[in-house]
C-alpha cells in the first residue's frame, strides 16, 4: 500500500519505519526541511534505541522516503496517518493547530478512496473536525479513522512491532477493511470501534497508568509513615494478575511528553462536558506533590541549600531516552538552583537537551564527576547502569556520603553496608 505519515516525531518516525519494514511504500512528510535533510542522510532526529539504524537502511533501500512537500506526499497515498504533536495549551487543553494544519494540507491533494487516520493523541471529536476541514476544500470521497498509538519512548520499535492491541476507530466498512489489512502481519488483539471511542481509549489508557503511579506514590508516602517497604508492597500487590506488576514503581512522579499532558487534557475535556473527574484531578495533584516531597527530603537532610554541592544522576524523564520534556529531574534541579545549591549532573543521553532548558547547569561527562566533593548525590532517572556504578569509589570522593534515591533504584541494604546515609521513597 502507499502510506503517508505526517510528522516525524516519535510516533510518526517509528510508525513509518514499521510500515516500511512490513513492505509498504512509505512517505514521511515533515514540514521542517532541516529534519528532512537529516533524515535523508540517515541521521537520527532523537535518541531511540535501534531506530536510526533501521530508518537509514529503509531510506537507502527506497522503502521510506522523507518529503517536505504536501503535494508529493499526499497525491498517491491510500492511507494517511496524522502523527503531529498535540502539545498542551496553558489551560491544559490539547493544542490542535498542527492537526488542523495537516488537515488543510491533506485537503488540497487527497485522492479518491483514501483513509485519513489520526495517530496523535487527540480529544474526542477531533476526527470529525478534521473530516469537515478536508471536506470544505475537497470533493473526493475519503474516510476518517482513529488509530491511537501506544508505543513508549525507549522501547518504541519493540512496542510497535509487538503491540498488545491495535485500536481501529472507524465509521465505514471500507476504512475498517483497509486498516485491518494494513495491520494484518502484526500480533495483538484488534479492537474495532467507532471514532470517538477510539479517541478516548488512548486518554483512558494513559490516565489509568498515571493513576497507578500516583497510587503507588501515595502508598509509598504512607509506608514511610508506618515504617513499611513500598517495593515489597508493590510486589505483593502486583503478583495479583488483576492488578499487574507494571507501573507500580514509586518515585518522584511521572513526567514526559505524554502523561502530564494527557491527564490535563482529559481533565479539561471532562470539564468541557460538565463532568467533574475527581479521581483524575487527584492523580495530577499527587504527581506534583511527589516532587515537593522529594525536595523536602533534600532540605531535611541538608538544611540550607545555599552553597551546597549537589551531584545529580539522571536528567531524562525516564531511562533509555534523551527526552527531558516535563522531566521531574529538571523541575527538581531548577528548585535546587533557585535555593542557591551548586548542581553538577550526569545523564547518559539527555545532557545536551537538559542544557537547552537550564543553560547554567553544569553537566558532567562521566558519572563519577558528580561525586567530587558532593554533599549529596540525587538519583532522579531510573537508568539501570546507575546500579552498577563503583559506589565504593564514589563514597571516597564525596564530602558527605549521602544518597537520596528518588527512583528506588539502588539496593538499600548494599548502600547501607557500604556506609552511605541512604534515603529513598517509601522504604
Ligand atoms: C507513555 C505510555 O506508557 C505509552 O503507552 C503511550 O503510547 C505514550 O505515553 C504516549 O502517549 O505517547 P512514555 O511517555 O514513553 O509512554 O513513558 P512511560 O514509560 O509510560 O513513563 C512515563 C513516566 O512514568 C516516566 O517519567 C516514568 O519514569 C514514570 N513511571 C513509570 C514511574 O514513575 N513509575 C512506574 O512504575 C512507571
Please, what is the Cα angle at 329 between 326 and 332, to 5 degrees?
Answer: 100
What pLDDT, in 10s, does the model give residues 374-421?
999 999 999 999 999 999 999 999 999 999 999 999 999 999 999 999
Tens digit of pLDDT at every position of the chain (427 positions): 999 999 999 999 999 999 999 999 999 999 999 999 999 988 879 999 999 999 999 999 999 999 999 999 999 999 999 999 999 999 999 999 999 999 999 999 999 999 999 999 999 999 999 999 999 999 999 999 999 999 999 999 999 999 999 999 999 999 999 999 999 999 999 999 999 999 999 999 999 999 999 999 999 999 999 999 999 999 999 999 999 999 999 999 999 999 999 999 999 999 999 999 999 999 999 999 999 999 999 999 999 999 999 999 999 999 999 999 999 999 999 999 999 999 999 999 999 999 999 999 999 999 999 999 999 999 999 999 999 999 999 999 999 999 999 999 999 999 999 999 999 999 9
Among 164, 149, 173, smallest CA distance to 85 is for 149
Cβ of 254 closer than 6 Å to ligand 1, yes or no, is: yes
Relative to the CA of 253, which ligand 1 atom is closest? 33
Cβ of 251 closer than 6 Å to ligand 1, yes or no, is: yes
- What's the full length of the chain, in residues? 427
287, 276 contact by CB (below 8 A): no
Q: Quick one: CA dihedral 95, 97, 98, 103, positive or negative?
A: positive
Nearest residue CA, atom 12 of ligand 1? 258
pLDDT the model gives residue 392: 97
Nearest residue CA, atom 36 of ligand 1? 247
Among 38, 47, 104, smallest CA distance to 66 is for 38
Cβ of 248 closer than 6 Å to ligand 1, yes or no, is: yes
CA of 213 to the centre of ligand 1 (A): 10
Identify the DSSP state of 88. Answer: B
How far apart CA 409 and CA 379 sit, in angstroms, is 8
Cβ of 150 closer than 6 Å to ligand 1, yes or no, is: yes
pLDDT the model gives residue 425: 98
- Given the C-alpha cell 475537497, which residue does it identify? 138
How far apart CA 207 and CA 174 sit, in angstroms, is 31
39, 28 contact by CB (below 8 A): yes
Nearest residue CA, atom 29 of ligand 1? 254
The helix (run of H) or strand (run of E) holding residue 330 is helix 328-338
Cβ of 46 closer than 6 Å to ligand 1, yes or no, is: no
All three cell numbers of 174: 471500507
The helix (run of H) or strand (run of E) holding residue 115 is strand 115-118
CA of 259 to the centre of ligand 1 (A): 7
Q: Quick one: CA dihedral 102, 156, 364, 298, positive or negative?
A: positive
pLDDT the model gives residue 43: 82
Relative to the CA of 262, which ligand 1 atom is closest? 11
Residues 6+ apart with CB under 8 A from 147: 81, 117, 118, 119, 166, 167, 168, 169, 179, 198
- How many CB atoms lie under 10 A from the CB of residue 424? 24
Cβ of 48 closer than 6 Å to ligand 1, yes or no, is: no
Helix (H, G, I), strand (E, B) or coil at 172: coil
158, 233 contact by CB (below 8 A): no
Kindly list the distances between the CA atom of residue 353 and the CA atoms of 30, 305, 323, in Å, as whole numbers in the listed order: 21, 25, 7
Pocket test for ligand 1, best of 152, 330, 409 (most atoms within 8 A of CB): 152
Cβ of 322 closer than 6 Å to ligand 1, yes or no, is: no
All three cell numbers of 194: 467507532
Relative to the CA of 249, which ligand 1 atom is closest? 36
pLDDT the model gives residue 21: 96
Helix (H, G, I), strand (E, B) or coil at 317: coil
CA of 167 to the centre of ligand 1 (A): 19
Identify the DSSP state of 87. Answer: P
Relative to the CA of 156, which ligand 1 atom is closest? 15
Kindly list the distances between the CA atom of residue 109 and the CA atoms of 105, 112, 180, 187, 288, in Å, as whole numbers in the listed order: 7, 10, 24, 33, 45
- How many CB atoms lie under 10 A from the CB of residue 307? 9
All three cell numbers of 296: 523536602
pLDDT the model gives residue 86: 96
The percent of residues above 70 in pLDDT, for the chain, comes to 100
How far apart CA 387 and CA 265 sit, in angstroms, is 36
Relative to the CA of 323, which ligand 1 atom is closest? 15
CA of 261 to the centre of ligand 1 (A): 12
CA of 106 to the centre of ligand 1 (A): 31
The arrangement of strands across the sheet holding 64-67 comes to 64-67, 25-29, 2-6, 79-82, 115-118, 143-146, 165-170, 189-193
Helix (H, G, I), strand (E, B) or coil at 42: coil
Residues 6+ apart with CB under 8 A from 62: none
Cβ of 203 closer than 6 Å to ligand 1, yes or no, is: no
CA of 152 to the centre of ligand 1 (A): 6
Nearest residue CA, atom 3 of ligand 1? 152
250, 425 contact by CB (below 8 A): yes
Cβ of 263 closer than 6 Å to ligand 1, yes or no, is: no
Active site residues: 258
Relative to the CA of 153, which ligand 1 atom is closest? 15
Amino acid at each position: 500500500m502507499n502510506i503517508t505519515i505526517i510528522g516525524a516525531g516519535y510516533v510518526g518516525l517509528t510508525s513509518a519505519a514499521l510500515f516500511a519494514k512490513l513492505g509498504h511504500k512509505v512517505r514521511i512528510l515533515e514540514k521542517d526541511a532541516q529534519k528532512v535533510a537529516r533524515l535523508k542522510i540517515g541521521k537520527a532526529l532523537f535518541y531511540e534505541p535501534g531506530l536510526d539504524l533501521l530508518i537509514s537502511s529503509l531510506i537507502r533501500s527506497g522503502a521510506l522516503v522523507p518529503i517536505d512537500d504536501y503535494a508529493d506526499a499526499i497525491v498517491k497515498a491510500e492511507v494517511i496517518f496524522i502523527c503531529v504533536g498535540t502539545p498542551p495549551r496553558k489551560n491544559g487543553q490539547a493544542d490542535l493547530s498542527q492537526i488542523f494544519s495537516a488537515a488543510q494540507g491533506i485537503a488540497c491533494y487527497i485522492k479518491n478512496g483514501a483513509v485519513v487516520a489520526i495517530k496523535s493523541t487527540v480529544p474526542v471529536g477531533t476526527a470529525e473536525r478534521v473530516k469537515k476541514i478536508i471536506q470544505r476544500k475537497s470533493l473526493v470521497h475519503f474516510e476518517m479513522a482513529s488509530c491511537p498509538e501506544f508505543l513508549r519512548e525507549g522501547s518504541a520499535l519493540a512496542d510497535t512491532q509487538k503491540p498488545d492491541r491495535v485500536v481501529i476507530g472507524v465509521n465505514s466498512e471500507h476504512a475498517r477493511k483497509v486498516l485491518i489489512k494494513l495491520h494484518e502481519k502484526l500480533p495483538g488483539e484488534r479492537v474495532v470501534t467507532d471514532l470517538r471511542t477510539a479517541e478516548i481509549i488512548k486518554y483512558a489508557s494513559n490516565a489509568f497508568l498515571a493513576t497507578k503511579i500516583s497510587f503507588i506514590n501515595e502508598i509509598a508516602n504512607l509506608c514511610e509513615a508506618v515504617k513499611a517497604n513500598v517495593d515489597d508492597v508493590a510486589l505483593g500487590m502486583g503478583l495479583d494478575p488483576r492488578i499487574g506488576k507494571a507501573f507500580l514503581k514509586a518515585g518522584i512522579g511521572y513526567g514526559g511528553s505524554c502523561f502530564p499532558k494527557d491527564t490535563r487534557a482529559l481533565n479539561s475535556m471532562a470539564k468541557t462536558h460538565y463532568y467533574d473527574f475527581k479521581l483524575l484531578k487527584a492523580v495530577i495533584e499527587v504527581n506534583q506533590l511527589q516532587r515537593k516531597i522529594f525536595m523536602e527530603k533534600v532540605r531535611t537532610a541538608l538544611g540550607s541549600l545555599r552553597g551546597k554541592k549537589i551531584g545529580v544522576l539522571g536528567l531524562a524523564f525516564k531511562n533509555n531516552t534523551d527526552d527531558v520534556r516535563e522531566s521531574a529531574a529538571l523541575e527538581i534541579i531548577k528548585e535546587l538552583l533557585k535555593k542557591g545549591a551548586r548542581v553538577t549532573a550526569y545523564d547518559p543521553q539527555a545532557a545536551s537537551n537538559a542544557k537547552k532548558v537550564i543553560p547554567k547547569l553544569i553537566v558532567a561527562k562521566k558519572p563519577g564527576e558528580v561525586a567530587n566533593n558532593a554533599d549529596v548525590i540525587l538519583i532522579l532517572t531510573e537508568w539501570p547502569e546507575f546500579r552498577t556504578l563503583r559506589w565504593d569509589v564514589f563514597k571516597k570522593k564525596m564530602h558527605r556520603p549521602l544518597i537520596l534515591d528518588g527512583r528506588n533504584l539502588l539496593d538499600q541494604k548494599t548502600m547501607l553496608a557500604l556506609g552511605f546515609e541512604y534515603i529513598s521513597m517509601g522504604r
